[in-house]
Amino acid sequence: MAAGPYNYSYIFKYIIIGDMGVGKSCLLHQFTEKKFMADCPHTIGVEFGTRIIEVAGQKIKLQIWDTAGQERFRAVTRSYYRGAAGALMVYDITRRSTYNHLSSWLTDARNLTNPNTVIFLIGNKSDLEGQRDVTYEEAKQFAEENGLMFLECSAKTGENVEDAFLDTAKKIYQNIQDGSLDLNAAESGVQHKPSAPRNALNTDQAPSKEGCGC
Amino acid sequence: MPLFKRKSGNVSNSWFHFAKAKPLPPDRRSWAGDTPSLSNGKASANGSTTRNGRCNEEAGFSPDRSNRPQSLLLNSELIKELADSGVSNSQIESPMRTSSRLSKTLLEILHDKEALPSFISFMESQNAGQYVRFWLDAKSFQTAAWTRIRTHSLNALAKSSLTEVSLAGSTSSPSRSLSSSSSPAEVFTEAETTLAPATSNATSILSPSFLSSSAMTDKTPAGETNPTCRPLASDTCNRLHDNQCQVNPPSSLPSAFSSTPPLTTTTTATSLSSTSSSPSYSSPCAADSRLFPSADMVEEQGLPGSLTSDKDRTLINSSNKHTDSDKSSHLGASQLPDTQLSNSSVVNDASGATAKDNCQDVKLGQITKDDGKKEECTDNSSSDRQVNKLGTKLLSSIEKDAVSIYVKYISLDATHSIKINDALRNETTSKICQEVGKVDPECFVACQDYVLEVMKRDYYTDFLHSVYHCKHQIDVLTSGKVYLADILHNDTAIFYFMEFMEQEGAVPLFQFWMAAENFQQHLSLAMGCYDGLQAQEDAMVLYDKYFSLQATEPLGFDDTIRLEVESNICREGGPLPDCFAKPKNLVLRVIEKIHFPSFLQGDLYYKYLSELINTVQLAHDLPQKVRRRLGSDASSEHSIGSQSTGTESISSRNTLLAADTSHFKKAFNKIDVDMRIDTILLNPDALWKRNNTGKMSFGRINNLGQFVSEYDPEPEHDKKKGSMFFRKRKDREKEQEDMAVQIAEMIIKDVTAITQGSSVPSNPCSAPEQTT
């Protein structure tokens, strides 16, 4: 939080999707404010949060779009899917119906985002072990079958929340390094070095040197 | 929130924020009941105080520590300023507010003259151009067929009152077909899109009418006829030119320009002679189409207009008929009114038929048309009724059009097959070959729906990710007229705009707008069948967050708006979709006037543009990548990496240049500069390659002259052959060593033989030593 507004190298766009009541907004609040919001009103359409993290020595700003989970908002929130570099798909481990609907959310995510979008499966409310309705192994298998990353988190205690967002960013950053994510495509969900003039001057020379090296 | 505080300090218009922060006390008092004039006066005084020096500014910083007061004050001041601009501003904005030109639905693309060329190019690059062309041809056919059927029906009205019933039936069908082709929202969008052309349409209709009136004045009441063979020749020409029209629907603009001379000729010919009405039939129609570059757009406008025109014609005709019956007029007298009705109707129909007639004029040329008129003069004495011939001609031309479209796209051996199944083909065939002998104007509707579904399922998504769509977006964004709606309703652009708003510290403002927009949209989508109580709960969430006196993110709306919102929420039966319309539009205007201009001149906007441009350029480089992949994976990856480095430096330089620009015109020039930068950057790569090639070649000459010629033609293989050469070198060194050893042995033998030649007994002793 101490970082200045221009002190980052990349901006990644995230979307958070999943049924209503699974804790999407609480996850966002826990990640951006580091505290739990007990009486969270339901989201109308979409809400927005940001935070700057560090991956492999690079400052990365996450632009997180938290969507409404109600079915009646689904047609409206779909318009925010395109251009997301990462998608966090959330279900509630104490409610099996939210897990059963993941296939539908996954289909939406796959159809409306880029092929290179990193999709992370999150089982929220891991602190309510006594009311567990979906086993870790079952969800883990679903994640592996569909090529998703997976973690169980608790927005209440903060367990694994940080890791979920960070691991997604690491995966995206790795895709950038591999070249599988085209950094210059307008719909990649990634902005690169949107820096102030001073920074531009500094970065302008480095690429030239690299060019000479080639 | 510490992050927010620091941003406030860094934002370029920080002084502006400080100035706005000053009026804090007056606004608080206004809550207690102070008069607005009093608070305004105090605000002004505080503003002037701020300018006196830094010490005041520093003192003013203290109130900024709280996020809440700053947000309130900022918006209070802006709202007061903008309230004076009045409603007219809102009305001007409203047509552009509901959609973005950067992201259109498939139907919107098909009806947009600017986006359609990109889509056609894309479809042809996928070898699927026949789908979109069929859809356009079928749409033109449907509109033209309805128009011609109405014309024919008007003629029949003169004979029997029963025909009026069928006319009423046929007029209702176009409305139905129009509704079925697009949803109400899209119809509204089309209406907006074609608003300006509609105005031109109204103006242009007057000219053809005038021409028609002049032509009719010259006519004699005598009956006019055509030879039997004439219709056949005419139909043949129609069919030929219809095909030519269909091949190039998008290129009607050049046709319009090139058809100017025939208009003059036709007018002259008409005024000089009292020929039959056929020439006057075609010339006004041609005049119509010459004024419209896009036949599709004209057709969209022509259909509803024609409906109105139909009603007028029906009334007029009824009146005429009544007059005729009273006067017991003879055959000759009744024929003239029929002719006038027929031509007047044709003149007022801006339809696909006019587009085809226009093409006929272009293709026939001046000489042919003159010859045609002479023939008609010669055969003027024929006794056939002109009206019947005209009607027959219209119906047969519909049939010709339908058959040509069928043969081209639908039949089993079609040249541009759209690959429909047998059931659909049979259905279409039965509609074209009806028992009555007339072609159903909607015979292609089912095929159109099929083609639309195919395009939506297989090609639309790819189009949105294609270079062609990127080019279209770049055209829109660099047209000099970018609207806020273009950014807000495009999910990629909004990504950059949101980042900009956060840098400006205005996220709550924009977040409220999004929430209100989503609230309105999802209720509108429900078409009035939503749960009032649930909608009220949704509305209360927004109210508690932004409007309530205990709001978690107050924006500073005044009491008037808050009370209005409260009454909207508590409305019996639940809130309406426009519950937050007033505050939402107010916020939109604030964003549009304060933040949007800065965004268009900021780094992020040009970052967005440069990425779109880079996407297009990378696609241009794609063919080269394919060749490199044939070589080797290693070199291919290396090349891609090199390009990536280049594009990054391009982005950096773009950012640098963007920061230096303040005017939009300069910004536009800067885009050209970006192109030049690309050109400049390409040169170093070329030089680099040449240098490497030279060095490698030189190295080969120094070591082994005989291998130089093998390496020059293929620079990419230099590395591999270099390594092979290194291995060969090792082998040869070994060979040389062996030879040296052998030579040494020979020398030793000779010397030994000479030295020990004198002593015979010692020879056996020397041999073992040499061996050792």
Phi, psi of A152 (to 5 degrees): -100, 135
Give contacts of B 594-653 with A, CB under 8 A: 603-604, 607-608, 611-612, 614-615, 618, 637, 640-642, 644-649, 651-653
| Contact check, Cβ <8 Å, B495/A45 | no
Shortest CA distance to B19 belongs to which of B50, B62, B44? B50
Percent of chain B exceeding pLDDT 90 equals 0
Q: Using 50, 70 and 90 to split pLDDT, how confident is the model at B757?
A: low
Pairwise CB contact (< 8 Å): B522 & A73: yes
Alpha-carbon distance values, B176 to B88, B171, B399 (Å): 35, 9, 22
Q: Do domains B97-158+387-466 and B482-621 have the same CATH topology?
A: yes
Summarised one tens digit per residue, pLDDT across range A110-123 is: 888 878 789 999 99
- Answer yes or no: do B525 and A182 touch at CB < 8 A: no
∠ CA B591-A75-A89 to the nearest 5 degrees?
A: 95
Pick the CATH number of B482-621 from 1.20.1260.10, 3.50.50.60, 3.30.10.20, 1.10.167.10: 1.10.167.10
Q: Give the pLDDT confidence score for residue B160 in this predicted structure.
A: 55
Residues in chain A: 214
User: Residue A105 — very low, low, confident or very high, per pLDDT cuts 50/70/90?
Assistant: very high
Contacts of B405 (CB under 8 A, 6+ apart): B134, B137, B138, B141, B246, B444
Q: What are the φ/ψ torsions at residue B141 (nearest 5 degrees)?
A: -60, -45
B-chain residues near A2 (CB < 8 A):
2
ipTM of model: 0.80
In whole angstroms, give the CA distance from residue B330 to residue B498. Answer: 77
- B-proximal residues of A, 60-79, CB under 8 Å: 63, 68, 72-73, 75-77, 79
Asked whether the predicted pLDDT for residue B419 surpasses 60, the reply is: yes
Cβ neighbours of residue B420 under 8 Å, at least 6 residues apart? B410, B428, B447, B450
pLDDT tens profile A26-60: 999 899 888 887 777 888 888 879 888 988 888 89
Q: Is A38 an interface residue toward B (CB < 8 Å)?
A: no
A100-109, B435-444, B450-459: range with lowest mean pLDDT? B435-444
Give A-chain residues touching B655 at CB under 8 angstroms. 193-195, 197, 200
For residue range B305-320, list pLDDT tens digits in order.
333 333 333 333 333 3
Please report the pLDDT score of residue B531 as a whole number.
79
Asked whether residue B151 carries a pLDDT value surpassing 70, the answer given is yes
Instruction: Please compute the mean of the pLDDT values over residues B295-310 and round it to a whole number.
Output: 35
Structure tokens, A111:
């159809």
| Backbone torsions φ then ψ of A47, nearest 5 degrees | -130, 170
| Higher-confidence position of B134 and A205 | B134
B633-668 residues labelled b (16+ CB within 10 A) or e (exposed): eeebeebbeebebbbbbbbbbbbbbbbebeeeeebe
CA distances from B342 to B225, B277, B278, B389 (A): 16, 10, 11, 12
pLDDT of residue B730: 66
Interface check B660 vs A, CB under 8 A: yes
Give the model's confidence band at B291: pLDDT under 50 very low, under 70 low, under 90 confident, else very high.
Answer: very low
Give percent of chain B with pLDDT exceeding 70: 39
Mark yes or no for CB contact A186/B526 under 8 Å: no
More confident residue, B204 or B161: B161
- Cβ partners under 8 Å of residue B594, min gap 6: B78
Give the residue from A173, A163, A164 showing the smallest Cα distance to A55.
A173
**Tokens describing residue A3:** 């970082």
Burial class (CB in 10 A: 0-12, 13-18, 19+), B383: exposed
Give the pLDDT confidence score for residue B507 in this predicted structure.
86
The residue-averaged pLDDT of B705-722 equals: 48
Beta A10-18 vs A190-192: how paired, if at all?
antiparallel
- Residues A59-92 pLDDT 10s: 898 989 899 898 788 887 877 886 889 999 999 9
Rounded Cα gap, residues B146 and A8, in angstroms: 62
Among the partner residues A42, A111, A204, nearest to B652 by beta-carbon distance: A204
Phi-psi region of B111 (alpha: psi -120 to 50; beta: other; left: phi over 0): alpha
Least confidently predicted of A92-96, A179-183, B65-69: B65-69
pLDDT confidence of residue B100: 77
* Mean pLDDT over the full length of chain B: 56
Lowest mean pLDDT among A45-59, A110-124, B79-93, B402-416: B79-93
Thinking of the domain A10-192, which architecture would CATH place it in? 3-Layer(aba) Sandwich (3.40)
pLDDT-wise least confident of B231-235, B388-392, B407-411, B472-476 = B231-235
pLDDT score, position B724: 60
CATH of span B97-158+387-466: 1.10.167.10
| A121 three-state secondary structure | strand
Q: Are A11 and A194 in contact (CB under 8 A)?
A: yes
How many whole angstroms separate alpha carbon B633 and alpha carbon B579?
Answer: 60
> For B588-640, what is each residue's pLDDT tens digit?
878 887 888 888 888 788 778 887 887 777 776 654 434 333 333 333 333 34
Least confident residue range of B221-235, B412-426, B674-688: B221-235
Higher pLDDT, B711 or B622: B622
Ordered by start, the domain boundaries in chain A are 10-192
Instruction: Tell me if residue B415 falls in helix, strand or coil.
Output: coil
- Which of B500 and B151 is assigned the larger pLDDT? B500
Give the model confidence (pLDDT) of B160-177 as tens digits.
Answer: 554 444 444 433 333 333
pLDDT value of residue A165: 93
First CA to last CA distance, chain B: 91
**Cα B50 from Cα B301, distance rounded (Å):** 58
Element (H, E) at A151: strand A149-152
State the DSSP H helix or E strand holding residue A123, giving kind and residue range, or none if neither.
Answer: strand A118-124
Angle at B650 (CA atoms; ends B488, B598), nearest 5 degrees: 35
Whether B346 contacts B224, CB under 8 Å: no
- With a cut of 70, say whether residue A210 has pLDDT above it: no
Contact check, Cβ <8 Å, A184/B489: no
Cβ pair B541, A42 in contact under 8 A: yes
pLDDT on residue B443? 80
Angle (nearest 5°) at CA B278 between B360 and B138: 45
Give me the residue spans of the domains in chain B. 97-158+387-466, 482-621
User: Which segment of B345-349, B393-397, B496-500, B738-742 scores lowest on mean pLDDT?
Assistant: B345-349
Q: What mean pLDDT do residues B126-150 have?
A: 82
Query: How confident is residue B137, by pLDDT bands cut at 50, 70 and 90?
Result: confident
Residue B36 has pLDDT above 60, yes or no: no
Q: Name the least confident of B169-173, B255-259, B398-402, B488-492.
A: B255-259
Find which of A181-190, B312-321, B426-435, B498-507 is predicted with most confidence, using mean pLDDT. Answer: B498-507
- DSSP β-bridge partners for residue A66: A16, A47
Q: Is B265 exposed, middle or buried (0-12, 13-18, 19+ CB in 10 A)?
A: middle
In the prediction, which pLDDT does A164 show? 94
**pLDDT tens column, B507-548:** 888 889 889 988 888 888 776 777 787 788 889 888 888 888
Mean pLDDT of B190-211: 32
